Amino acid sequence: MIRIGLIGCGRWGRLILRDLLASGAEVHVATPEEHSRASAIEGGATRAVISAADLPLMDGYVVATPTVTHASVVELLARTGRPLFVEKPMTSDLASARRLVELAGDRLFVMDKWRYHPVVDAMRDEIASGSVGEVLAIQCVRQGWSTPHSDVSALWVLAPHDLSIVLHLTGSLPPLVAAFPIAPARADLGMMVHLGGSGFPSVTLDIGIASPQHRRRCQVIGSRGCLELRDGDEDKLVIRDGLPGDPTAVERIRLTGAAMPLRVEIERFLSYVAGEGPAPMSSAADGLAIVERLGEIEAALGMAPAVAV
């Protein structure tokens, strides 16, 4: 049985623990909160200790601590030489992201769960097959109410998801063109971001935490067809075969199944740790590219950067 050290067992960490156990791993948890340790044991963890330094050597590690602590936790675990899976974003600043790539880039991976969404994967398949022609634009909407994270802004909580989708669909991240806050007096409430440039599709991100309606949407506009993910829980891809805007374009539905992305990415990591499967999709280099864009967007918005600890 594969032994995994799970660092952090809060709101999201408990779900990671659930899926690690369901995937057959033996899980040892490290978290400073006494109630989280008790919850971890109740949830099936083999042991729960205060610090990652208190864990015995594991086969691999999953880091689900607050974003600003990712760098320090990964630096500690890198000494083990074992595979590391860190929640998105990889870190909260560019300097620490570059440092982690140098330190553990060959065995550090980022938990970009949207790259494992069945509909997003079907979108990539359609693009690769040439069915939509040249990708002209990608539009992502990620709106909701509030955020459970207090250490970083909504930009660092929400944008990594959509940036990872763009990376998954096209293999790269276009340069930043412009970014502006939805409400200039409260840049933390949301922003519009435009990426693009010569040789890249136009990418727009609509991100916010002041919408009473929870919305998750991604649309690809191609020269010969369009693709749409209409909601995060969708199990189908909506496709329009034909020129964009052409009233004669025909709609078709591609059913994808409803596999849970978190469970899929955890199973892939465990398979990799066991030496039986490919590495997780987002490498440390991918994580660095996303942190670079986040830092650029943050600067364009005039927001104070998060400070790693």
pLDDT at 150: 87
Mean per-residue pLDDT, 122-145? 98
Quote the pLDDT of residue 105: 94
Q: Is 238 helix (H, G, I), strand (E, B) or coil?
A: strand
- Spans of all domains in the chain: 3-112+263-282, 114-260+297-301
| 15 pLDDT higher than 80 | yes
- Quick one: tokens of 301? 């918005």
| pLDDT tens digits along 224-248 | 999 999 999 999 999 999 999 999 9
Q: Pick left, alpha or beta for residue 173 (phi over 0 → left; psi -120 to 50 → alpha; otherwise beta).
A: beta
3-state secondary structure of 206: strand
pLDDT of residue 100: 97
Say whether pLDDT at 193 is over 90.
Answer: yes
- The whole-number pLDDT of residue 145 equals 97
10 Å CB burial of residue 300 (0-12, 13-18, 19+) is middle
- Estimate the share of the chain in helix, then strand, then coil, as percent rounded to the nearest 5: 35, 30, 35
Per-residue pLDDT tens digits for 97-117: 999 999 999 999 999 999 999
Looking at the DSSP assignment, which residues form a beta bridge with residue 34?
Answer: none
Provide mean pLDDT across the span 276-284.
98
202-208/190-195 β-pairing: antiparallel
Rounded to the nearest integer, the mean pLDDT of the chain is: 96
Does the pLDDT value for residue 309 go beyond 80? no
Q: Are strands 190-195 and 225-229 parallel, antiparallel or unpaired?
A: unpaired
Quick one: what percent of the chain has pLDDT higher than 70?
A: 99
**0.85 exceeded by pTM:** yes
pLDDT, tens digit, 9 for 90 and up, residues 64-94: 999 999 999 999 999 999 999 999 999 999 9
**What fold, for 114-260+297-301?**
Dihydrodipicolinate Reductase; domain 2 (3.30.360)
pLDDT digits (tens, 9 = 90+) for 248-270: 999 999 999 999 999 999 999 99
Q: pLDDT tier at 164 (50, 70, 90 boundaries)?
A: very high
Q: Give the C-alpha separation, 13 to 282, whole Å.
A: 19
Of 135, 146, 290, 301, nearest to 221 by C-alpha is: 135
Q: At residue 174, does pLDDT exceed 70?
A: yes
Query: Is domain 3-112+263-282 annotated with CATH 3.40.50.720?
Result: yes
Report d(CA 223, CA 114) in Å as an integer. Answer: 25
pLDDT exceeds 90 at position 175: yes
Say how many C-beta atoms besides its own lie within 10 A of residue 257's C-beta. 9
178, pLDDT greater than 90: yes
The beta-strand segments (E) located in the chain are 3-7, 26-30, 47-49, 60-63, 84-87, 108-111, 135-145, 176-181, 190-195, 202-208, 210-222, 225-229, 236-241, 250-255, 282-283
| Furthest CA-CA distance within the chain | 64
pLDDT in the model for residue 307: 65
